[in-house]
Structure 1
Amino acid sequence: MNSSINRVAVVTGGSRGIGRAVAERLAADGQAVAIQYSTNVREADAAVEGIQAAGGRAIAIQADVADEAAVKTVFETVAAEFGGIDVVVNAAGILILDTIENFDLNELDRMHRTNIRGTFVINQAAARNVRAGGAIINLSTSVKKLGLPTYAGYAATKGAVDAISPVLAKELRGRDITVNAVAPGPTATDLFLQGKDEATIAQMAKMNPLGRLGTPSDIAEVISLLAGAGRWINGQTIYVNGGMV
């Protein structure tokens, strides 16, 4: 029997990229899925329609992940629609690159608002709503270990994700809820490919022994495990990068 049947997942940033692949995979696993999106209603609706066409259950809800009132409404809406919440995958995030010397601090604040405050707000709501037997999964990044120029601001936000996840795992002691972070390596999404020339992309693809970029489905495969049968993995950051670091 599929242990994911009758489970309910909230996937932030679920309209595109890794988030969408995760939403589609969890729906294929049998979970009802609520896709949170920020602005792109067309992509969110397309994701929902694709899941429904494949026989799954899905809804889309617009919200700013850093706005606690909006996030509270998201979780209330999902619980009312599907009866509760078992899995929360926080895939919402933005990527802004520049050197430390030249970084626009207003842009740094914008990225921190989504990637750090947003992670904290989503995890706070998850801690208040996820049922026993559930899972909370945050998206981190493998780039933290590489020290690549222009990535300091982004890597700092994901370092915060790595700090939050194991603390929450311990704070939820006794409730049978796991909390983990997943740190993808270079993955072929619009977020990653934007602004990079072919030579840079090819160079980054060679950084792991498998000699290719990751795909969103590579990441979704691991998240599917953590969201379902992987109950003995808790408080970890799992690097999903083909052996890059």
Structure 2
Amino acid sequence: MREIVLDTETTGFSPEEGDRIVEIGAVELMNQLPTGRTYHQYINPMRDMPKGAFEVHGLSEEFLRDFPVFEAIADAFLDFVGDAKMVIHNAAFDMKFLNAELGWCKRRILPMDQAIDTLMIARTKFPGSPASLDALCRRFGVDNSAREKHGALLDSEILAEVYLELTGGVQPDFGLSTASGTSTQAARTVGKRPRRLAARITEEERAAHDAFVGKMGDAALWYKLA
């Protein structure tokens, strides 16, 4: 199963008011493991800016000026996504912007049912608890110390870890594994116990249990499963 964990950065909150996407970051998962394939693109928003420096999540108007406009990258973005499910935190926001940009350049619209919203999953699973990406990182012990400024690719990598914690999937490995093994190796050994655990009952408890089972006779199920 192929999934794309995705995040965008925008100039504001409303494409209807002229706000645009300035960055897209995405991580590919296959059967809930990272493949190493990513998509990352800065985008020139091509909109009227106020005089002076324009800052959005640390990206300046001057920095973005030399990057392609959305129409120039639309086909490559759609090719990367394909028909895979897109895992997005607050999917309605990102999908609104993506489909606005795709509509303006006359490309195919992404159906809402292609998106998996981790915000909704978190709110359902932990009602009443904070459900921001940072809050979920704290809940699951996901390291987000590098998240000093929002970055679409970094946020998508962090979201991939949070998503798999939310859904009980395999913990991804983004270059953080130790020399002794990888997440793939760990996934293969989940549920396999190398040896039986030592008994923690006392001799008195064992004797009482044996006496209880003894009263059931030789046909007791305990003897058949021993």
Question: Is the TM-score greater than 0.5?
Answer: no
* Structure showing the higher helix proportion among its residues: 1
> TM-score, normalization: structure 1?
0.27
Q: Please tell me whether Structure 1 or Structure 2 has the larger radius of gyration of its CA atoms.
A: 2
> TM-score, normalization: structure 2?
0.29
